[in-house]
Amino acid sequence: MLTRLLINRSYARLWAAGVISWVGDYVFDVTVILWISTILAADQPWAPAAVGGVLAAVVVPTVLISPIAGVYVDRWDNRRTMLGSDLLRMGLIGALALLPLLPEGTVPVGATLAVVYATVFVSTAISRFFTPARFAVVADVVEPDQRAKASGIGQASMAIAGIVGPPLAAPLLFGVGVGWALLINAASFFVSFLFLYGVRTPGPEAGRQVPQRPGLWSELRAGLAVVGGSRILVALLVSAMVANFGAYLLNTLNVFFVTDNLGASAQMYGFLGTAFGVGAVAGAALSGVAAQRVGLARTYWVGLIATGVVMAVYARSTTFAAGLLLLLVLAVPLAAMNTVVAPIVMRSVPGTCSDGSSAWSSPRYSSCR
């Protein structure tokens, strides 16, 4: 019954691996922010800057590596790329988990922060390869007429992970400690690896000639030319970068807003992620209706403006209940905006979706099949 609901056995395993790793990712993100803000930099004037270092460790590899990741992944075995990515991240997070388990004062705070930033940087870089590989594997194991269903299952599962994951971080961190919370996240990558190991993808057809591909930089230049030649894609790229940078800032510095402006304890921080996740589910569901009634472009720019307006109101909120409600509302237009990005890109680049153009326009769609 479950296999039938999840299309086939390979996709069911792929789905299970995704759910586990997504929940683990949300737990890891919140754990790192709470670790820095409440323990490593507790009551320090430089605490926001220290948490901001996490933002830099995420943004830099996303900007630098996303454009080339899809091009490389298309040349590799996608299943092996996913398996290797999970093992690397398991080892990486597992090694980081050893730091808080050492006696207090063994490693200076500055050195600990440097290791945290390096871990987040490398983990984010690895995820830039994992994500397009996953999209490609979904295309390999799911028949064309079932891919829309698979995409819907994946989006819904990711949204649910965003609701469930953040509130788990604070109880783990304050209940069993940072080290064990990180070890649980490392274990989630191992469990994901076990599920992915059972995924079977079709091999190359016998006697099929592998087409000659242009060089890496040629594909990137071609993709940049496509983006630069389209006013729609340029506007989309710039606005999406600005909006996502604001979202990164919100996610990174929100813990201080919770304690200083909303008057709540840091342990309540994860529930803001839950509220955001609920709003994101609603926004994704409403985006289809909005796009049909007012069009893709209008859905995007109205969502962009609405997100900014609600963000301004959220910045002036003074109670935790109001903050929860406003963050839920904020996520609705933001999710609707993000949902229509792919159709706009596909409509603006008719015919085929090349790795190069998609890499420059959106990291999320860096490998199109």
Assess whether pLDDT exceeds 80 at residue 127: yes
Q: Tell me what pLDDT residue 353 has.
A: 44
pLDDT class for 356, splitting at 50, 70, 90?
A: very low
Distance from C-alpha of 252 to C-alpha of 337, rounded to nearest angstrom: 21
pLDDT class for 82, splitting at 50, 70, 90?
A: very high
Distance from C-alpha of 262 to C-alpha of 95, rounded to nearest angstrom: 35
Distance from C-alpha of 288 to C-alpha of 301, rounded to nearest angstrom: 15
- Count of CB atoms within 10 A of residue 182's CB? 27
Alpha helices in 205-319 (DSSP H): 216-228, 231-260, 269-294, 296-315
Assess whether pLDDT exceeds 70 at residue 211: no
> How do the domains of the chain map onto residue ranges?
1-200, 231-348
Handedness of CA 248, 322, 239, 157 (dihedral sign): positive
- Cβ atoms of 317 and 326 within 8 Å: the answer is yes
Where is average pLDDT lowest: 31-35, 170-174, 193-197, 311-315?
A: 170-174
pLDDT class for 363, splitting at 50, 70, 90?
A: very low
Distance from C-alpha of 51 to C-alpha of 40, rounded to nearest angstrom: 10
Assess whether pLDDT exceeds 50 at residue 345: yes
Mean pLDDT of 90-96: 95
Handedness of CA 43, 45, 50, 52 (dihedral sign): positive
Assess whether pLDDT exceeds 80 at residue 219: no
Cβ-based neighbours of 228, under 8 Å, separated by 6 or more: 234
Where is average pLDDT lowest: 49-53, 109-113, 352-356?
A: 352-356
Work out the burial of residue 216: count CB atoms within 10 Å of its CB; fewer than 13 is exposed, 13-18 middle, 19 or more buried.
Answer: middle
Where is average pLDDT lowest: 21-30, 228-237, 281-290?
A: 228-237
The reported pTM is: 0.80
Assess whether pLDDT exceeds 50 at residue 164: yes
95-122 pLDDT per residue, tens:
999 999 888 889 999 999 999 999 999 9
Pick the more confident residue, 264 or 289: 264
Where is average pLDDT lowest: 99-103, 237-241, 301-305?
A: 237-241
pLDDT class for 326, splitting at 50, 70, 90?
A: very high
CATH fold, domain 1-200, is Growth Hormone; Chain: A; (1.20.1250)
pLDDT class for 368, splitting at 50, 70, 90?
A: very low
Where is average pLDDT lowest: 89-103, 171-185, 217-231, 261-275?
A: 217-231
Helix axes 78-101, 109-141, angle to 10 degrees: 160
- Cβ atoms of 330 and 289 within 8 Å: the answer is no
Reported residue count of the chain is: 369
- Count of CB atoms within 10 A of residue 326's CB? 20
Q: Tell me what pLDDT residue 39 has.
A: 92
Q: Tell me what pLDDT residue 44 has.
A: 93
Residue 309 corresponds to which amino acid? V
Assess whether pLDDT exceeds 60 at residue 350: no
Rounded to the nearest 5°, which phi and psi values hold at 354? Answer: -80, 155
Pick the more confident residue, 70 or 320: 320
Where is average pLDDT lowest: 118-127, 208-217, 282-291, 353-362?
A: 353-362
Q: Tell me what pLDDT residue 64 has.
A: 87
> In the chain, what is the straight-line distance between the N-terminal and C-terminal CA atoms, in Å?
29
Distance from C-alpha of 135 to C-alpha of 79, rounded to nearest angstrom: 11
The per-residue pLDDT of the chain, averaged, comes to 83
Q: Percent of the chain, pLDDT > 70? A: 85
Assess whether pLDDT exceeds 60 at residue 140: yes
Rounded to the nearest 5°, which phi and psi values hold at 177? Answer: 105, 160
Assess whether pLDDT exceeds 70 at residue 215: no
Q: Pick from 152-161, 198-207, 316-325 the range whose average pLDDT is largest.
A: 316-325
